Structure 1
Amino acid sequence: MSNIIALNVPPRRQRLIERAGALIDIFATQRRIQDDVFWLKENAELLSILECTGTAVGADMLAPHHDFYDGLHDRLQFFPQYYRFLLSIGLDLEDLGLPGTQMEELCHSVARQGLPDAELSDLQRAEARRLLARRGVACAAADPELDSRLHGFINRSDTYALPNKKAAYELTHIVFYLSEYGRRDPELGPDAVRSLTYAGILAYLDQNIDLLAEVCVALRQAGQQPDPIWVDAVRTDLSGFTVVSDEDTISSDAYHEYLVANWAAQTLGFDDTGAALPVGRVAFHHPTRTGGALRGVSAALFAAARTRSTRWDHMCDYVFSVLDDDAAAVLEATIASTTEFDAFFATFARA
């Protein structure tokens, strides 16, 4: 049977499927226990990426989740505060091919209990709306003005020209929800596209490839083409990952950056260059990279005080003069990656 599959499935696609199966087992059984909320977070993220990229894993590869899926009703009753994680995992398992049809009823149950009514933010209400809509269930907490507020948030480009990782990640996730993870046009206007560009500029300056990869995915979902310099940074980062056997307790590692870089690789269409996956418990280590330029540029601008200008052509010689070679190279690449740097700098300078 394996020979037949290898002959009929393109080699790259087959590698992606095999890697997906290994990742499912690693995250479901090897890293954390199911009662750990971080188990929910990690598995929800992995399964969501597999589902939205259309990775055909099938029931056999999803077998490590069979018992968890069967117990979802009881978990939702006892842990309603985690309903978004639990719905996300269950919906993705069904849509990826695990036999079962309980998620429609569980979505109705969540709606009847009004669990989304407890959400404080529009971002969380948008996620709840999307999850329930996957089984045709209306989300009462998502009022008719929700989309208008979401677009208002992402249209304020100046927000994303200042270092604020929380706002930047909320920006990308709003695009994910509005686009239904790439399934429809999120109807972003030029201001929202500029917001993504500004967030990408800051991510590249900071060499935050995790955020940069999310920005690249969001741009593609909005029908835009990320700059090749950004795409190459994500690709280089992915190829430099190491995944190593680690029997110690995992407190934190670079699993999220690894998953998002793989997601970006599939979305942007470059070859799978991910690290080999050992059998058993593993930890994900991102590649060693030079420091970014964001801290150095910010320090230079702060030190300039009253001589600080909003015009990059007035400040560029001074800023480059105080940066070390690595930071200067990152800044040069950042400028080359966008036509929006001068407009970005006018806000970033805070003059």
Structure 2
Amino acid sequence: MKKEVSKRRHNFFWLDTTLMLLALVVLLIANIVAKPALNNSKNVQKEKDNIVQESKNQSASTTLQSKNQKDDIYINLLRKEKNKIERISLEEYVIGVVAAEMPAEFNLEALKAQAVASRTYAARRIVGKALHKGYEGKKVYLCDDFSHCQAYIDKDEMKQKWGKNFEKYYSKIRKAVGETKGEVLVYNGRIIDSLYHAASGGKTEDAKEVFSEEIPYLKSVVSRGEEGCPKFSGEFYFTYGEFIKRLKKYFPGLRVETKNIFSQIRVIERTTTQRVRCVKVGNTILSGNQFRNIFGLYSTEFWIYPDKRGVRIQTRGYGHGLGMSQWGANYLARQGKNYKQILLYYYQNVKICRLKYR
């Protein structure tokens, strides 16, 4: 009888142990299934969850999802020339953008304004889930190509660019980014399209002139002190043969007589800030931007003059002219304006808000 009882206890012991192990396995599987994937934990929330909500004191914030970071998120950045994707924090990305987009010699307040504008641009793409074409599956919202997103350089490239001044300039830009950490520009509850350019030529462009629709925060303003920009003004020369060849590359149907060619070139319309809206060459009408891109001009504020054997084109300003002028921002900073005053001058009726991460 004693042996029988002992045997039963032995059997119950193994049964209980087996059941406990099974329970642990079930709990472990449930925990794994319930746990979100690492990649998903750092993805931003849907756009409706990122709409800025204003509090009683009229401040506003937008929320980006970040499981392991309390004050930043990580992004996948496409390095086009290197043909690779780098994973870096948003704030580290902003440092690289400011270093690439604005001269480090500029006033600290101008660098701060650039930091906020650059962060705003990036946050808008992330919130809007503007995935980079061809890299949708890798969650790439940003690249380092200035013609598509914003220019960006890493520390090694900064060292090459600044040489012995690396420590000085890197510390300065890091300070500008750090003192504006998480700040973005918001209009009517949404992160704005914070366009910026090098120099306006004296007056920034109204978005309506470019996009044919009102953008309340992108209005034309006077922008002084830009003359120091290396490409504030420019002069370009093309022989008649080269001029026609370039145009026909993009417009094969272009018909223009080589005799008295200049009489067949005419600016049809300009914007209120004197930028070319459209120009006619022979039988073809081009937009000011098309003409600028074909001939590599500094801006669409240009004038065409005849020359003995070709065409001479003079330009004023550098860039599209929308939003903040970088050289104008530096001028305002040297006049004693702080970065918030600079931003609120170039982007009308916006609010400076801080991103929230959760």
TM-score (norm 1): 0.21
Question: Which structure ranks higher in relative contact order (CA pairs < 8 Å, sequence separation ≥ 6)?
Answer: 2
More helix by share: 1
Q: Which has the larger radius of gyration?
A: 2
